[in-house]
Copies of this chain bind each other. A is one copy, B any other.
Amino acid sequence: MPKLVASDIATALKKRISSGEWIENGRIPPERDLASEFGVARNTMRRAVSFLEDDGTVVRHVGRGTFLTAPNPASMTAVVGRMEGTSPADMMEIRQLLEPAAASFAATNASAMELNAVREAHRIACESQDMPTFEHWDAEFHHRIFACSRNEFLKEIHNLMRILRNQAPWFEMKKRSFSEERRSIYCSEHQMVLDALLRRDPESASQAMLAHLKTVERNLLGR
C-alpha cells in the first residue's frame, strides 16, 4: 500500500465528487470527518482539500463547511427565480435565436396532424376580435410550433419564456403595443411561417419566423 500523500487524497476526493457523491446539497463532509475516514491527519486532509480549492472545485467557509462550486440540482429553482427578472429586450434577443430554429425543426419533423394544429391556432387568432383572444391564440401558434420541433429541451425553454411573458412588465407592454393594424401584420407574417411549414421548407420557415420576431420586437420595444 503506497503511502497516502495529500495530492493522492485530492484526486481521490475529485473522483468521489465527480461520481456524484456529495452533489445532493453541494456540501462535502467536514475536514475532521474526511481526515478520519481516509485515515490521515487533519492537516493532510486540509492540504488535500486546498488542492480542490485551488482548482476551483470547491469553496470553503469558516464555520459553515466546504461546498462544491458546480451547481447542483437544488439550485435550478434559484435559476428560474432569477429568470423572473429577465428584461424583455434580453428575452427577445434569445427568441430570435430559438424560434427560427424551432420553426426550421418543425418544418422537417412535424406530423401532418401537428401542422394542422398550428394552422388551426393561426386561423382562430386571425378571426379573433378582441385583444385577449388574439393574445392567447397568438401564443398558442408559437407554442404549437415548438411542440413539433421534436426537441424536449427547446420546448421547455419556450415554456419558461411563456411563463415569464405572462408577468407584469410584459402585460403592460403588450397592451400598449396592441393595435388592429399590428394584429393584421402579425397574421400575415404568421401566414408566411405557416406556408413554409406546409411546404416543408426549413430555411424559409426560419427566415419567416425571424422576420416576424423582428416586427414583434420593434413593436414591443419601440425601436
Which A positions have Cβ atoms within 8 angstroms of B? 2-3, 5, 7-8, 10-11, 14-15, 17-20, 23-25, 27, 29-30, 33, 55-57, 65, 69-87, 90-91, 93-94, 97-98, 101, 124, 128, 130-133, 135-137, 139-140, 151-154, 156-157, 159-160, 162-163, 166-168, 171, 175
Contact = CB atoms under 8 A, between A and B. Distances in A.
A178 to B, nearest CB: 11
A136 to B, nearest CB: 6
Identical chains in the assembly = 2
Given A11-B25, A86-B153, 13 more contacts: A2-B33, A7-B27, A55-B77, A57-B133, A70-B162, A71-B162, A76-B160, A79-B156, A82-B152, A90-B152, A91-B153, A94-B151, A94-B157
A56 B94 contact: no
A135 to B, nearest CB: 7
27 contacts: A2-B27, A2-B33, A3-B30, A8-B27, A23-B166, A55-B124, A55-B136, A56-B140, A57-B132, A70-B136, A70-B139, A71-B162, A72-B163, A73-B84, A73-B167, A76-B77, A82-B152, A82-B156, A86-B152, A90-B152, A90-B154, A91-B153, A94-B151, A94-B154, A97-B97, A97-B101, A98-B98
A11 B25 CA distance: 7
Contact of A156 (B86, B93, B132, B168): B86
Contacts of A25: 7-8, 10-11
A82 B158 CA distance: 13
B19 A71 contact: no
A133 B17 CA distance: 11
Given A11-B74, A166-B23, A56 B81 contact: yes
Given A11-B25, A23-B166, A166-B70, A79 B132 contact: no
